[in-house]
């Protein structure tokens, strides 16, 4: 009732399109923008979550997962990295729209992720930024998203154990193999005892080739983690 009264008095606007929201959802995004998100559902790859076309049939492994060595068990994403969702993520990361990231995190909380159960995990770990990049940007976008998931599902959030010790160049214009080479050896773990025998969910904003999250999973599994899965806001298709 209080939220409805505030909406009536202040005419809240959608954080993506700027139009009056008035939908009472509390996530800051209007029905129109939410409906334009390309939510990822089955059929998809059992392992990496790649959605298949046509959008009918059963889940199965994609060609890359059959041929690649992966250290995470499954990876899932809310929606396709395109349209309004892509624009929102870009504004969040590069225009320092932290509030927008919090709203995107709330939508991420509402998602359905086939094969992923939040009750399984002992800890959430956002993909870390290198200290230099963190100083430049002022925040870690993965940590902003992870904080919403941690609050909703009451899973401890570990912001400091996983560290990026080597600065890497932007992955945007790199190919599959170049991406893996770019992040190789870029991460380390501060205290291996914190992850031993733990089920860990790694959080990031976008899954493209999976090179970054797989390198994180590699470090965690070699330190004794029981299982590592991956959850991202968006997935490049």
Please give the pLDDT value at position 217.
97
> Tokens at residue 6, please?
């505030």
Q: Helices H, strands E: what count in the chain?
A: 9, 6
**What tokens were used for 45?**
């790859």
Judged against a pLDDT cut of 80, whether residue 19 lies above it is answered with no
CATH classification (class only), 37-235: alpha beta
Q: Which residue has the higher pLDDT, 130 or 15?
A: 130
**HSE (CB half, 13 Å, CA atoms) of 50?**
17
Rounded average pLDDT over 127-144: 93
Of residues 231 and 98, more confidence is placed in: 231
Q: Are 115 and 74 in contact (CB under 8 A)?
A: yes
Strand partners, 39: 79
22, pLDDT greater than 80:
no
Cα(154)–Cα(160) distance, integer angstroms? 18
Higher model confidence: residue 167 or residue 121?
Answer: 121
The pLDDT-based confidence of 161 (bands split at 50, 70, 90) is very high
**Beta strands 162-164; 187-189: pairing state:** antiparallel
Give burial (CB, 10 Å; 0-12/13-18/19+) of 172.
exposed
Q: Does 39 score more than 60 pLDDT?
A: yes
- pTM to 2 decimal places: 0.89
pLDDT score recorded for residue 1: 67
* Of 63-72, 88-97, 122-131, 210-219, minimum mean pLDDT range: 88-97
Q: What's the pLDDT band for 221 if we cut at 50, 70, 90?
A: very high
Mean pLDDT of the chain: 88
Asked if residue 6 has pLDDT above 70, the reply is no
- If you average pLDDT over residues 143-162, what whole number do you get? 97
Residue with the larger pLDDT of the pair 132 and 14: 132
Residue 164 · residue 191 · CB < 8 Å: no
């Amino acid at each position: 009732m209080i939220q409805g009264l505030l909406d009536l008095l202040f005419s809240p606007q959608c954080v993506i399109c700027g139009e009056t929201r008035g939908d009472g959802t509390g996530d800051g995004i209007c029905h129109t923008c939410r409906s334009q998100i390309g939510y990822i559902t089955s059929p998809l790859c059992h392992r990496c979550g790649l959605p298949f076309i046509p959008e009918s049939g059963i889940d199965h492994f994609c060609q890359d997962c059959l041929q690649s060595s992966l250290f995470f068990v499954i990876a899932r994403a809310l929606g396709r990295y395109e349209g309004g969702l892509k624009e929102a993520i870009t504004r969040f990361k590069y225009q320092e729209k932290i509030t927008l990231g919090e709203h995107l995190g709330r939508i991420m909380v509402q998602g359905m992720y086939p094969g992923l159960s939040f009750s399984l995990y002992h800890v959430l770990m956002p993909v870390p930024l290198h200290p230099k990049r963190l100083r430049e940007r002022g925040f870690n976008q993965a940590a902003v998203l992870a904080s919403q998931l941690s609050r909703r599902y009451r899973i401890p959030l570990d912001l400091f154990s996983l560290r990026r010790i080597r600065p890497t160049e932007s992955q945007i214009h790199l190919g599959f193999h170049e991406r893996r080479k770019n992040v190789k050896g870029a991460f380390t773990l501060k205290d291996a005892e914190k992850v031993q025998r733990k089920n860990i969910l790694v959080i990031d904003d976008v899954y493209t080739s999976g090179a970054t999250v797989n390198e994180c999973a590699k470090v965690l599994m070699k330190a004794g983690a029981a299982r590592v899965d991956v959850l991202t806001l968006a997935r490049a298709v």
